Amino acid sequence: MALDPSAAATGPGADEQIEPLACGRDAAVVWDHAADGMLDEHERGCPHCAAAIADAHGLDGVVHRMAQEQPLPPPSLMDTVMEAVLDTVTAELRPQDLLALDSPAGPARLSRPAAARVLRHAVDRMDGMRARSCRIEQDGVHLTVAITVTARFGVDLASVTARVRQMVVAAGEQALGAPVARVDITVVDLWDEP
Amino acid sequence: MHATRPTDDAALARPSSQVARPVPGSTAGPGVPPAARSAPVAAPDAPPEQELDEATLVVRAQEGDVRAFEVLARRHQAVLFRVAVRIVGDPADAEDALQDALLDAWRRIARFHRDAAFSTWMYRIVTNSCLDLLRRRRPALPVDEVGEERLAGPGSDGPERAAEADAGMAALRAALGRLPDEQRVCWVLRELEGMGYTEIAHITGATETAVRGRIHRARKELAEVMRAWR
Amino acid sequence: MSATPGATPRTTPGAAPRTTLHVGDLVVARLAARAARGVPGVAGLRPDLTQALLGVAGTVFGQQRDTLPADGATAVVEGGHADVSLTVLTRLGHNCRDLAAAVQRAVSAEVGAYTGLQVTVRVTIADVLI
């Protein structure tokens, strides 16, 4: 899936041909060997390879210095990006991204990603547990939650599953104000404390 | 209210008593191995998102979690900015290209396939954003033709470059700026970012053979220019 | 967006004198935004037009009209009725359902008391800050 149409359009052509050296060796391979300091016996003694090797070594120092440069992004860059991201998020909130809240005072909706974030947070606060995916469906006012979690090695999965369910139900009621009718929990990975 | 964090906001929180509260720390029941029991019993705060693993952050971002995306983007921004500077040759242009790329990444992240490396995917988006920017800046020039002489390119000798202490590096930068864009991208990823041909092929969407060819041509051209500096 | 209503006097078709109103969309939106901000747990408003608003307000009165966002609220006044739409942010620790209802009541009360309009308040909680 080339994102770049021109790259996809570039078929086999002049760009791809690497003319072999007079000794028959692939010039790119010889260059790679020279750059990595892994020349074989032929390359070390061959006059045709020598020119390619000299080019490689000649560039090596200045390229190495260039590679050492670490230009840093301006601190404002991410702020600008996140502003733009938040703009798209709000502007693109579609009806299917929203859960209905049971308010007696008029139509009330809650962003589905925001609700998922709240439920994940409830699981994250459990010792040795991390929420990964959290998908919420709504049937009437009731929520059905499918959540995937990762657990620290040694955590008892059977007992923790019951607690995850409790936490999600409690967060649904207390933080969202929406009853959770069903919680499907899948443990997808285990991890060690870093 | 255990579902939420006991912060200053707790004072404002609606008291809720009708729901059974799971007690944090009660995990360590009889069946729990010692490793889990030794964990702190006090209600832990959720770990900051900055500490989450990449797979978790990616899934969350794919499900619309803006903060997870922000953590991912912040984690990768220095490397991506460096690549962008090297491709477009100018920090201000690189900033523009990276901003576009990150917004693009947010819009596309749901379509990211998790069997691919996230960093490769980000490199690809940034690389394409850089190429788009270069095409916009030089619409009249046939950018894909090998050996086409450039009137001006990224990294060409501007006032700020003239003052560069390392004259050899300045010359390399100028020569790099004159390479065809596709060659420069491949060369930068190989020689400055240290990537293998396969990964570069994934990033650029070109075949591995094409990548090798572009890098080799770029190397030869740069070596030619730089002979004067040896 | 063309600035349609502003302070233009508005008369319902049929021109019953008691329903003649002198309150523009923007006035209602500003009142609504201020009232919403005063509700404990509202961390901010997002200036936007949600699809919900466009989908409903844009057609419910059988006509397209521009809506004027004011600091995160939009309002459409039609006859003696105001349709207000707000997109709010809250913080973890506030029950979303109760917060939405509290915003609706506060905005209805404020706009109703100030203008005499009947008010429908649509609330969208766009984010829960953690």
Among the partner residues C101, C124, C127, nearest to A104 by beta-carbon distance = C101
pTM confidence score: 0.78
Looking at the structure, tell me whether residues A60 and A109 fall in a common domain: no
Rounded to whole angstroms, how far apart are CA atoms A85 and A79?
Answer: 10
- Asked whether the beta carbons of B157 and B90 are under 8 A apart, the reply is no
Chains that touch B (3 or more CB pairs under 8 A): A, C
CB burial readout A116-138, b (16+ within 10 A) else e? bbbbbbbbbbbbbbbbbbbebeb
Looking at the structure, tell me whether residues B128 and B159 fall in a common domain: no
Report CA-CA distances (Å) from A172 to A145, B43, B65, B118, C39: 10, 19, 18, 32, 22
Domain count, chain A: 2
Q: For B16-40, what is the mean pLDDT?
A: 37
Domains parsed from chain C with CATH numbers: 22-129 (3.30.70.1350)
Chosen domain end from A49, A68, A87: A68
Output the average pLDDT for chain A: 88
Rounded to whole angstroms, how far apart are CA atoms A62 and A44?
Answer: 23
Q: For B151-161, what is the mean pLDDT?
A: 45
Best residue in A90, A164, A174, A186 to probe B by mutation, most B CBs within 10 Å?
A174
Q: Is A141 on the interface with C (CB under 8 A)?
A: no
- Asked whether the beta carbons of A166 and A186 are under 8 A apart, the reply is no
Q: Find residues 41-70 of chain A whose CB sits inside 8 Å of chain C.
A: none
Looking at the structure, tell me whether residues A101 and A177 fall in a common domain: yes
Looking at the structure, tell me whether residues B127 and B58 fall in a common domain: yes
**Is B132 within a domain?**
yes
- Give the pair of three-digit tokens for residue A159: 């007992």
Question: pLDDT of C61-108, one tens digit each?
Answer: 333 444 545 678 999 998 889 999 999 999 999 999 999 999 999 999
Looking at the structure, tell me whether residues B134 and B167 fall in a common domain: no
Looking at the structure, tell me whether residues B112 and B163 fall in a common domain: no
Identify the domain containing residue B204 by its residue range: 155-230
Question: pLDDT of A24-70, one tens digit each?
Answer: 899 899 999 998 888 999 999 999 899 889 989 889 889 999 999 99
Chosen domain end from B104, B138, B172: B138
Which pLDDT belongs to residue B10? Answer: 35
Q: Is C123 on the interface with A (CB under 8 A)?
A: yes
Q: Does pLDDT of B70 surpass 70?
A: yes
Looking at the structure, tell me whether residues A106 and A61 fall in a common domain: no
Q: In chain C, whose CA is at the least distance from the CA of A103? A: C101
Looking at the structure, tell me whether residues B159 and B118 fall in a common domain: no
Selected residue with higher pLDDT from C14 and B78: B78
Chosen domain end from B107, B138, B169: B138
Looking at the structure, tell me whether residues B132 and B180 fall in a common domain: no
CATH assignment of the domain containing B129: 1.10.1740.10
Q: Does pLDDT of A176 surpass 80?
A: yes
**Is B122 within a domain?**
yes
- Asked whether the beta carbons of A65 and B169 are under 8 A apart, the reply is yes
Selected residue with higher pLDDT from C9 and C113: C113
Which pLDDT belongs to residue B141? Answer: 53
Dmax (CA) for chain C in angstroms is: 51
Radius of gyration of chain B (CA): 25
**Is A149 within a domain?**
yes
Q: Is B217 on the interface with A (CB under 8 A)?
A: yes
Looking at the structure, tell me whether residues B60 and B97 fall in a common domain: yes
Q: Which residues of B touch A120 (CB under 8 A)?
A: 60, 65
For residue B48, the SS3 value is coil
Looking at the structure, tell me whether residues B56 and B132 fall in a common domain: yes
Which pLDDT belongs to residue B203? Answer: 96
**Is B88 within a domain?**
yes
Which pLDDT belongs to residue B35? Answer: 38
Whether A95 sits inside 8 A of C51 (CB atoms) is yes
- Give the pair of three-digit tokens for residue B228: 């004067």
Looking at the structure, tell me whether residues A121 and A64 fall in a common domain: no
- Asked whether the beta carbons of B5 and B48 are under 8 A apart, the reply is no
Helix (H) or strand (E) holding C87: strand C81-91
**Is A53 within a domain?**
yes
Among the partner residues B39, B102, B227, nearest to A81 by beta-carbon distance = B102
Looking at the structure, tell me whether residues B229 and B160 fall in a common domain: yes
Among the partner residues B29, B66, B212, nearest to A18 by beta-carbon distance = B212
The torsion angles phi and psi of A188, rounded to 5 degrees, stand at -110, -15
Distance from CA of A103 to the nearest CA of B (A): 16
Question: pLDDT of B92-128, one tens digit each?
Answer: 999 999 999 999 999 999 999 988 899 999 999 999 9
Whether C93 sits inside 8 A of A175 (CB atoms) is yes
Which pLDDT belongs to residue B223? Answer: 93
pLDDT confidence tier of residue B167, bands split at 50, 70 and 90: confident
Rounded to whole angstroms, how far apart are CA atoms C84 and C32?
Answer: 7
Best residue in C60, C92, C97 to probe A by mutation, most A CBs within 10 Å?
C97
**Is B70 within a domain?**
yes
Report CA-CA distances (Å) from C95 to A79, A81, B139, C49: 29, 30, 54, 24
Question: What contacts B2, CB < 8 A, 6 or more positions away?
Answer: A125, A167, A170, B21, B22, B23, B24, B43
Chosen domain end from B138, B173, B203: B138
Which pLDDT belongs to residue C10? Answer: 52
**Is B83 within a domain?**
yes
pLDDT confidence tier of residue B154, bands split at 50, 70 and 90: very low
Q: For B200-206, what is the mean pLDDT?
A: 96
Among C59, C68, C63, C42, smallest CA distance to C124 is for: C42
Identify the domain containing residue A186 by its residue range: 96-191
Looking at the structure, tell me whether residues A107 and A185 fall in a common domain: yes
Query: In sequence order, what are the beta bridge partners of A144?
Result: A137, A182
**Is A105 within a domain?**
yes
Q: For B155-183, what is the mean pLDDT?
A: 76
Q: For C42-66, what is the mean pLDDT?
A: 53
The torsion angles phi and psi of A101, rounded to 5 degrees, stand at -105, 145
For residue C86, the SS3 value is strand
Q: Which residues of B touch C130 (CB under 8 A)?
A: 5, 46, 67
Q: For B3-22, what is the mean pLDDT?
A: 37
Among B5, B49, B50, smallest CA distance to B24 is for: B5
Rounded to whole angstroms, how far apart are CA atoms A119 and A168?
Answer: 6
Domain count, chain B: 2
Chains that touch C (3 or more CB pairs under 8 A): A, B
Least confident of B222-226, C11-15, C61-65, C89-93: C61-65
Q: Does pLDDT of B191 surpass 60?
A: yes
Q: In chain A, whose CA is at the least distance from the CA of C96? A: A176
Using CB atoms within 10 Å of the CB of residue C45, give its burial: 0 to 12 exposed, 13 to 18 middle, 19+ buried.
buried
Which pLDDT belongs to residue B183? Answer: 96
**Is B28 within a domain?**
no
Amino acid type, B215: I
CATH assignment of the domain containing B200: 1.10.10.10
Report CA-CA distances (Å) from B153 to A106, B106, B125, B137: 59, 30, 21, 10
Q: Which residues of A touch C126 (CB under 8 A)?
A: 89-90, 93, 111, 114
Question: Most confidently modeled of B186-190, C22-26, C78-82?
Answer: B186-190
Output the average pLDDT for chain C: 77
The torsion angles phi and psi of C120, rounded to 5 degrees, stand at -110, 125
Rounded to whole angstroms, how far apart are CA atoms A108 and A99?
Answer: 9
Read off the DSSP letter of residue B143: T
**Is B109 within a domain?**
yes
**Is B45 within a domain?**
no
Looking at the structure, tell me whether residues A102 and A182 fall in a common domain: yes
**Is A185 within a domain?**
yes
CATH assignment of the domain containing A136: 3.30.70.1350
Looking at the structure, tell me whether residues A50 and A119 fall in a common domain: no
